[in-house]
Chains A and B, each alone.
Chain A
Amino acid sequence: MLAAPITSTLAVTWRQYVVWRKLLRSSIATNVLNPILFLFAFGFGLGRFIDSMQGVSYMAFVVPGMIGYAAMFAASFETTIGAFSRFYQQRNWDAVLSTPVKLRELLFGEVLWAALKAMISAVCVLVVGWLWGGIPSLSGALIALPIVFVAALGFASYGLVATSMAQGYEFFSYFFTFWVTPMFVFCGVFFEIDRFPIYIQAISWVLPMTHLIAIIRPLTVGLPVDMAMMAFHLGYSVALTIAAFAIAFLQIRRRMFD
């Protein structure tokens, strides 16, 4: 018998899974096909003009970036548009909180599910990228996956902060424009950030995606890993995640119960 907070959290995650099974098709289209299409664009399009980046083939460079992006996009989508409609429109959160489930368990169940969905997307990109020769070190890629999962817990939590502030769906256009897209552009997903002027690079290093890619790219490429730097990047992501989750929790508690 698991402790009550764990069963409550898993009950929330389980609910998402049951609903997701029914909506599998649209879910796969958004979260899996979308990053794979990007991969094709980069592989066939850009890849032809770029021999190598940071000393590796462009595919080997871009695949870990796309793994990170896929995870980030899926987790962000789930805890923004998805969670907001459960909170605001379907009133699912009201239903859950009428049971012994507590708010923090509900929110962690949401985050956990978003991270699991992020993993589905990340693994699909990894498999396609590997078949395409974009994963020189498969063992490194397998080590990267749990790190992607930890980062995805963060991406889900940042989305939850946006949900805690949103008054309507329009609000998320800000979130996607000022948070999701910059993480695609400024964090080394499809080209190296040292090409930016230094003040843009400063922004890059604030964004958690940069830290995720800094960890997983050497792993999938098969470069030696600097453990201290890895600990630093991971620590930064984890600290930001905890802060975001706490902010989201406090704001949603105020909004729902006061």
Chain B
Amino acid sequence: MEMTSIIAARDLVKRFGSFQAVKGISFEVEQGHCIGLLGPNGAGKTTTMRMIMGLSTVSGGTLEVFDIPVGAMTRGIKSKIGLVPQESNLDSDITVSENLKVYGRYFGLAANVIGERVPRLLEFMQLHERAESRVTQLSGGMKRRLIIARALISDPELIILDEPTKGLDPQARVLIWNQLLELKRRGKTLLLTTHNMDEAQRLCDRIIIVDHGEILDEGSPRDLIDRHVLGHVFEVGKPLPAALNGKHWEHEDIGDAVLFYVRSSDDFVAGLPDSADFIQRPANLEDVFLRLTGRKLREN
């Protein structure tokens, strides 16, 4: 069966003056899937999301959402997208339920539709007890939940989430993950960015790793791990045992230790002397991420 693409980007470019934030990327987001956009800060993730929302003009290439170029997006199409931005832009002076009611009006929803959806969404994000609280009285986790509830007011088919669990405690994170998985079960399409690899691995069917405005690789979490870090990681302290020199294991020097990526741990261990100092663990998405995007800090 042919998959329906909800988002289709071809050679998508975004320029800010002479700086190219997105350098001709192509990707698709299929209906009913959760796609993760992963990359270090400044990789072009938020810019890409803003272009999908029509909040930023496209400098080159094409970008279609629901088969319509973003530049020609109609109100009907816009209503099918819910955005969870990275920074809170809730109305902090009014209450939780007022935030949802006000937002519903932007979609032109009738008062009775809004009135029926607000309690349901508050219940869904477990905010019903705080319906009449002012936003200023909410914790960070509650604010994030409210932003997600707000993005759902128009019952969108596509939900775009920019770091939905940024800065939250594990309890709040788990609640959000469960509700996002529930949305996926209901057939919603999700596109999310995150720096939490555990989150990406749990939620995403497919992951697109971007850096410096380019796609480095994409695939399911399992495929990516298989392709780049094989399955097992051995962190071996320096100096390396002589037995490892000259053998052609996939490896990466990280300073005071070397990481070896191996498919079969038995083969690797067999070649090590008993005195070797190493840590062994299953390879995960974080290994893939660091291998592809490098270990240098990005804050500069």
Contact = CB atoms under 8 A, between A and B. Distances in A.
Contact of B107 (A14, A97, A99, A256): A99
B105 A15 contact: yes
B85 A257 contact: no
B106 A18 contact: no
B106 A11 contact: yes
A180 B75 CA distance: 38
Contacts of B102: 11, 14-15, 18
A193 interface: no
A194 interface: no
A95 B90 CA distance: 8
A98 B83 contact: yes
A8 B91 contact: no
B55 A256 contact: yes
B268 interface: no
B265 interface: no
Given A18-B94, A18-B98, A98-B83, A11 B108 contact: yes
A98 B91 contact: no
B48 to A, nearest CB: 15
A257 B57 contact: yes
A257 to B, nearest CB: 5
A12 B54 CA distance: 19
Interface residues of B, number: 30
Contacts of B76: 100
A7 B81 CA distance: 19
A98 B55 contact: yes
A94 B91 contact: no
Interface string A88-103: 0011101111111100
A4 interface: yes
Secondary structure type dominating chain A contacts: helix
Contacts of B89: 90-92, 94-95
Contacts of B79: 99-100
B55 A257 contact: yes
Contacts of B78: 99-100
Q: Which of A94, A96, A100 has the most CB of B within 10 A?
A: A100
Interface string B255-293: 000000000000000000000000000000000000000
Contacts of A7: 105, 108
B197 interface: no
B87 interface: yes
Nearest to A91: B89
A94 to B, nearest CB: 5
B105 A11 contact: yes
Q: Which of B57, B89, B98 has the most CB of A within 10 A?
A: B89
A15 B102 CA distance: 6
Given A19-B94, A22-B94, A23-B93, A94 B85 contact: yes
Interface in A213-258: 256-258
A255 to B, nearest CB: 11
Interface in B30-89: 53-57, 75-76, 78-79, 81, 83, 85, 87-89
Given A4-B75, A18-B98, A92 B91 contact: yes
Contacts of A11: 102, 105-106, 108
B267 to A, nearest CB: 52
B226 to A, nearest CB: 37
Going nearest first, the 8 A-B pairs with the smallest beta carbon separation are A91-B89, A99-B106, A11-B105, A100-B75, A100-B78, A98-B83, A95-B89, A15-B102
Interface of A: 4, 7-8, 10-12, 14-15, 18-19, 22-23, 90-92, 94-101, 256-258
Given A100-B108, A258-B57, 8 more contacts: A23-B93, A90-B92, A91-B85, A91-B88, A99-B78, A99-B79, A99-B107, A257-B55
